[in-house]
Amino acid sequence: MSTNDSIFPPSGADIQQVLREQNPWHVSGRIPEPLARPVERPLVELLWNRLRTDSPRRFQLVLGPRRVGKTTCMYQTLRRLIHQGIPPTLLWWVRLDHPLLMDVPLGTLVKGILGASKPSGHVYVFLDELTYARNWDLWLKTFYDEDWPIRLLASSSSTAVLRDRRLESGVGRWEEQYLSPYLLGEYLGLAGQDVDVPGKATLGETIAACVEGRVEVAHIEPFRRRLLLTGGFPELLRECGETTDEEFALLESQRILRSDSVDRAVYKDIPQAFGIDRPAALERLLYVLAGQVTGILSPSSVAASAGNLSLPTLDRYLSYLIQAFLVFTVGNYSGSEETRQRRGRKVYFVDGAVRNAALQRGLAPVADPMEMGILVENLVAAHLHVLGQHSGARLYHWREKDREVDLVYDHPASPLAFEIGLSPRHSRKGLVEFQQRFPRFRGRCYLVAPGAVASGPAHASDEIGSLPLDLLLLAVSKQSQLEMAKGEAALTLSAETQE
């Protein structure tokens, strides 16, 4: 692109220089390896297939927490397209949070790219941090409805893309793909420690197959512990995964996540997406929530501890933290939807390592058994939350007076309930009462703990099964992988049917 081209007025030369710097493959013909690491996550296969076939025609939006690898997945997808034979000059990367690009209308940027490419077919446009572009949703609608010759892949660290005013624009025009922190099964693959887990149609069936097949998990504990303390973020796992110094890995994780995940989300992403002017209050709320993770929220108590927020402000700020992929909540399970919404919620972090960073917890997680218990429950909840994102099943807890069950996976065909403990001797009373109260869960309840001996509910007098912690995590990891593949296959079948 010549600096004399008047594609981007009024400061066209500066913008063109930025785009040259962001697209080095236009000259070299290859993606620099530091941008696209050799090891790919499963999402790359899906994105590549979507862009390659574009059938049915959809733009692709990748959502997920900061540092989870969204940008790397996009670069790896771009690399695949080059290997497929797509001319590198038809592949355009635009990092929209760049200071010189933030105020340029998205339509102007894409029109300039098309003018510079002069394609005979279509151009591939990669938009990193999409929501930094003004009216991005209306521009995507325009690109789609007016049939601009582009195939588009974008990322965002905030679900501002799901705000109400965006919904109409997105229907039938783009798909959202969620990229989570590493689950245990995927991390074991990264570490060269794959475990063969039999995958079935539902999580309940996969768990039963793991129990019957006596899947061996005794060697996994050190890897699960590293995932628990460091967090499921690719760069952190690469940088800290090989060190034997657990305390160093824990502190380094907190330092990096404090800066890159917590501070950036609270002081940049959320204010930019939602226009709030009190980010310090948002940070204080996150701190309070981090101290109450796995517990039932008392809105009035949380609001007071977070600086005397009003209850409407608390609800709004909590929704921002959820949409920035920092936390999620689960309601109390009941046969009545109205009751589920009225009763108390529990809060969890998308990754427990972010919770440690928010609290600046230091070495407490390795020294305090109570801290470890909180992180273990959060790890299981986060795995089930990811599975729910792919399967559509909802996650709950249950509490009635002094009886409780930590996690209820409300799959329509195969519901499951789990009580999480640090010992196989953990009480089963909550599970016993829960399945008596809700018969559809009979024979589908499990006590989960490190060191537990795997056994199915049918072999127990109280009909409560037992699962080693790592076996459950591996089963959920496998099921998440299968559900993602199932979604891809369903879309492909739909496209073939339409043709």
| Interval 19-48: pLDDT, tens | 999 999 999 999 999 999 888 998 999 999
What pLDDT, on a 0 to 100 scale, did the predictor assign at position 166?
A: 54
What's phi and psi for 139, nearest 5 deg? -70, -40
Sorted by where each starts, the structural domains of the chain and their CATH numbers stand as 12-179 (3.40.50.300), 185-481 (no CATH)
Q: Is the pLDDT of residue 1 over 50?
A: no
Task: Tell me how far apart the alpha carbons of residues 218 and 368 are, in angstroms, rounded to a whole number.
Answer: 23
What pLDDT does 245 receive?
A: 85
- pLDDT over 70 for what percent of the chain? 90
Half-sphere exposure of 363 (CA within 13 A, CB side): 5
Q: Are 409 and 395 in contact (CB under 8 A)?
A: yes
pTM: 0.90
Quick one: pLDDT at residue 210? 96
| Residue 232: partners with Cβ closer than 8 Å, 6 or more residues away | 68, 180, 181, 182, 183, 187, 351, 353
Percent of the chain surpassing pLDDT 90: 71
pLDDT in tens, 192-220: 898 999 999 999 999 999 999 999 998 99
Q: What's the pLDDT score for residue 121?
A: 87
